[in-house]
């Protein structure tokens, strides 16, 4: 086992050092050592992030962690992304009334899914800081000015200061509205996209594919986890 160092004591706690040695020895499989491969130390409980840069495996949650500033921080390996579209036109039955956008089953996703019972809910499997990018194709057939509003809700509560407001002023007007923002999500949280309009003659419009261009969704939401 030459070349593989037993963990050095950290501070004055022999109890913690014994835990470190036990974890180290448990991770040293004879075959893996001979193959020049060393298993990452597994946490057994009570490990302290006393020094920056220590790597361990969090078996309870199933991912590696690194110590930084006295805290064990997750090293994301995968998951935490999704691309959601709504490929049909979305209308409002009533003016000045909040509606939830129901997206289609995502074409690509990892660690993010639609709730099977409440499909407007986008559920996050892991805690982290997420970058969300939303866009919608808004259209009006009203000769007067109409207004659209879009905003997110987390766990059923509207997120303050996040509403997108856009207006169309003529019959036949159409444009795309979009915004990108950061959100802090906890494992098990769900997000919903809400919208409202001042006229039932305005809507979120989808377009079918043509001979030279693919289809256009009425609404799109992209999600990417940036960090734990």
Q: Domains of the chain by range and CATH?
A: 14-74 (no CATH), 81-227 (2.60.120.40)
CB atoms within 10 A of CB 7: 16
Is the pLDDT assigned to residue 1 strictly greater than 50? no
How many percent of the chain have pLDDT more than 90? 62
The stretch 144-165 carries a mean pLDDT of 97
Q: What is the pLDDT of residue 2?
A: 47
* Average pLDDT value for residue range 65-91: 88
Asked whether the predicted pLDDT for residue 186 surpasses 70, the reply is yes
The pTM score is 0.75
Confidence at 158, pLDDT banded by 50, 70, 90: very high
């Amino acid at each position: 086992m030459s070349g593989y160092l037993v963990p050095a004591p950290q501070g004055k706690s022999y109890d913690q050092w014994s835990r470190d040695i036990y974890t180290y020895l448990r991770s040293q499989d004879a075959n893996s050592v001979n193959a020049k491969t060393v298993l990452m130390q597994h946490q057994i409980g009570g490990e302290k992030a006393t020094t920056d840069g220590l790597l361990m495996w969090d078996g309870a949650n199933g991912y590696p962690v690194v110590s930084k500033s006295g805290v064990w921080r997750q090293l994301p390996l995968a998951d935490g992304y999704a691309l959601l579209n709504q490929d049909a036109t979305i209308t409002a039955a009533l003016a000045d009334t909040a509606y939830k956008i129901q997206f289609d089953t995502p074409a690509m996703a990892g660690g993010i899914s639609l709730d099977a019972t409440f499909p407007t809910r986008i559920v996050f499997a892991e805690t982290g800081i997420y970058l969300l990018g939303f866009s919608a194709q808004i259209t009006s057939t009203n000769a007067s000015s109409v207004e659209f509003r879009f905003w997110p809700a987390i766990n059923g509560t509207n997120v303050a200061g996040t509403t997108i407001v856009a207006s169309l002023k003529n019959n036949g007007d159409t444009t795309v509205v979009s915004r990108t923002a950061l959100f802090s999500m906890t494992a098990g949280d769900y997000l919903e996209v809400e919208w409202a309009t001042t006229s039932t003659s305005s809507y979120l419009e989808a377009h079918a594919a043509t001979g030279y261009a693919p289809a256009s969704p009425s609404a799109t939401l992209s999600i990417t986890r940036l960090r734990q």
